[in-house]
Structure 1
Amino acid sequence: MTLTQLEIFSQVAQLQGFTSAANRLGISQSAVSHAIKSLEQELGVELFHRHQALIELTDIGQQLVLRARTMLGLANTLQQEADDARGMKRGTLRIGSFGPTSSIRLLPRILRRFRQAHPGIMVHVDEGPDRQVVQWLEERRIDVAFVVLPEERFDTFALIEDQMVALLPTGHPLADQPDISLKALCSDPFILTEAGSSELVSRLFVGAGLKPDIRYRCSQLLSTLDAVRRGDGVTVVAQLSLPDVQPASYLIKPLKPAITRQVGLAVLDQRQASPATLAFIKLATGLDYGNGA
């Protein structure tokens, strides 16, 4: 069993395909197939169910892929610690990001500084809904994640705080109100944005003993904004996730009572984090985001 085999196994599991894994790794599909077959023969188990157009993990494959990612993560940390002794001239950093707040307002600024300080570190960024990014971190697919705090499962580092706001179509009956309660938002069709702080928004209503009339689930914030503009419903989003230039086609209202959201970084275990990961966290937590990041 080699680290190369484990890396190929991990990529096939993540991408659910031999061809996709081959393209990601820059090798031939036959090399991927041979590596998986050899690994299965060595372990004496079948790792994947192979259908015509679908590859999925077997039950034992689902257990072993987590072990494989742990081993790959430790090997990467070992390599980076050796590289760090030579000035951290090479290595890889895998980042998980969600929504406009982290992907547009925070990450570009941090990466610009990080690449200046560590040009030899290869950076991979994966974007997804907040809950998916957390899952990636748990499964060791990424080294560090942007998350909505608190997250007690991980070691976390706060970066920025902003306000949760309500979005209403222009001409809405509540347009003249200076602020909006969560209860008032339950009278209209509600639009839930999956890409941002969907978990936080859901918890806000549950904590208040309320149940919004969710009619739409949008995977992207732009889809949510378009739906509000059309008058399809109302929503709650983080203020920093909104575009800097606000169109006149929807209204932004503070919530009553005011609700804040804190965004930060998370790692599985700071003690086991690679030098590149720790350097990224140190740089990110040292920046001032007071002027819109």
Structure 2
Amino acid sequence: MTLTQLEIFSRVAELAGFTSAATRLGITQSAVSHAIKSLEQELGVELFRRHQAQVELTDIGGQLLLRARAMLGLAATLEQEAADARGMKRGTLRIGSFGPTSSMRLLPSILEEYRREHPGIEVHIDEGPDRQVLQWLEERRVDVGFVVLPEERFDTFALIEDQLMALIPAGHALAREQEIRLEQLCHDPFVLTEAGSAELVTRLFIGAGLSPNIRYRSSQLLSTLETVARGDALSILAELSLPPAADARYGSKPLSPPVRRQVGIAVLDRRQASPATLAFIQHAQRLYRHPKPSILR
């Protein structure tokens, strides 16, 4: 068993296909097929079920994938530590990011400084809902991820804090209110964005014993904003996820009582983090060690 075989196995599993894995890795499809066949023969188990152009993991294949990613992660850490000791600042950093708060507010400044000091590190950014970033961390598909705190499963580092805001169409009666109580958002249609603070918003209603009238679910922030702007629904979003430029079609109001949200970065295990990952954490903490949201506006 080789690391190359494990890398090919991991890519086929991630992309659900031999052809797409070959394209991503820059090798031939026959080389991918040979590597998987050799690995299956060596382990004595079937790793994939073939369905024409696509494949899916078997049960044992899914179990072995977690081990394979752990081994690949440790191998990458060893390579980066050795390169760092030789003064060769090379390696790869895989970042998981959710929504505008991390992708647009935090990452640009962190990466600007990070790339200036570590130009040899290749940075890969995967974007998805907050719960998907957590899954990527657990599966070792990313080295570091932006998360809503607290998250006890990981080693975490707090960066910023903001608050949840009620999003109200301009012509709505609640637009005249200075603050919005949670129960006031339960009568009209509600749009729940499934990125960023979705889990926090859901827990907020459950904890208060309230049930919003959820008529829309959106995986993209822009869709949520447009739904509210049309007057079709109300919503709750984190303050830092809102666009910097005001839109006259809707307004944001603080909740009463206020609900704070803390955002940070997480790694599966700091002791196993690569030098490239640790350097990213240091840069992020230096730039955003609990600054006030107004600084980021």
Q: TM-score under structure 2 normalisation?
A: 0.96
The residue that corresponds to 1:158 in the other structure is 158
Question: Is the contact between residue 191 and residue 214 of structure 2 (CA under 8 Å) also seen in structure 1?
Answer: yes
After superposition, what is the alpha-carbon deviation per residue over 1:70-119, rounded to whole angstroms, capped at 9, x for unaligned?
Answer: 00011011111101102251011110000000000101110111100111
Report the CA distance between 1:215 and its aligned residue. 1.1
The secondary structure found in structure 1 opposite 2:280 is helix
Which 4+ residue blocks in structure 1 deviate beyond 4 angstroms? none
Q: Quick one: distance in 2 between partners of 1:23 and 1:195?
A: 30
The residue that corresponds to 1:223 in the other structure is 223
The within-5 A match list for 1:160-175 is 160-175=160-175
The within-5 A match list for 1:111-260 is 111-260=111-260
The secondary structure found in structure 2 opposite 1:175 is helix
Tell me, which stretches of 5 or more residues in structure 2 are unaligned? none
The residue that corresponds to 1:292 in the other structure is 296
Name the amino acid aligned to 1:262: Q
Name the amino acid aligned to 2:10: S
The residue that corresponds to 1:10 in the other structure is 10
Name the amino acid aligned to 2:257: P
The residue that corresponds to 1:263 in the other structure is 263
Identity %: 73
Q: Quick one: distance in 2 between partners of 1:213 and 1:32?
A: 49
Q: Quick one: distance in 1 between partners of 2:204 and 2:28?
A: 48
Question: Is the contact between residue 88 and residue 276 of structure 1 (CA under 8 Å) also seen in structure 2?
Answer: no
Report the CA distance between 1:279 and its aligned residue. 0.5
Report the CA distance between 1:41 and its aligned residue. 1.0
Q: Quick one: distance in 2 between partners of 1:197 and 1:88?
A: 39
Tell me, which stretches of 5 or more residues in structure 1 are unaligned? none
The residue that corresponds to 1:24 in the other structure is 24
Change (3 A) 1:236 1:88: farther
Report the CA distance between 1:53 and its aligned residue. 3.7
The residue that corresponds to 1:79 in the other structure is 79
The residue that corresponds to 1:107 in the other structure is 107
The secondary structure found in structure 2 opposite 1:87 is coil
After superposition, what is the alpha-carbon deviation per residue over 1:23-52, rounded to whole angstroms, capped at 9, x for unaligned?
Answer: 221222221111111111111111011112
Q: Quick one: distance in 1 between partners of 2:34 and 2:277?
A: 33
Q: Quick one: distance in 2 between partners of 1:195 and 1:156?
A: 20
Q: Quick one: distance in 1 between partners of 2:211 and 2:261?
A: 20
Question: Is the contact between residue 168 and residue 252 of structure 2 (CA under 8 Å) also seen in structure 1?
Answer: yes
Q: Quick one: distance in 2 between partners of 1:27 and 1:246?
A: 48
Q: Quick one: distance in 2 between partners of 1:217 and 1:27?
A: 40
The secondary structure found in structure 2 opposite 1:225 is helix
Q: Quick one: distance in 2 between partners of 1:287 and 1:206?
A: 35
The residue that corresponds to 1:34 in the other structure is 34
Q: Quick one: distance in 1 between partners of 2:16 and 2:92?
A: 23
Q: Quick one: distance in 2 between partners of 1:134 and 1:282?
A: 21
The residue that corresponds to 2:45 in the other structure is 45
RMSD: 1.1
Q: Quick one: distance in 1 between partners of 2:53 and 2:7?
A: 22
Q: Quick one: distance in 2 between partners of 1:171 and 1:88?
A: 59
Question: Is the contact between residue 18 and residue 54 of structure 2 (CA under 8 Å) also seen in structure 1?
Answer: no
Change (3 A) 1:88 1:199: farther
Question: Is the contact between residue 88 and residue 118 of structure 1 (CA under 8 Å) also seen in structure 2?
Answer: no
The residue that corresponds to 1:66 in the other structure is 66
Name the amino acid aligned to 1:77: T
Q: Quick one: distance in 1 between partners of 2:188 and 2:87?
A: 57
| Comparing 113-122 and 52-61, the one that deviates more | 52-61
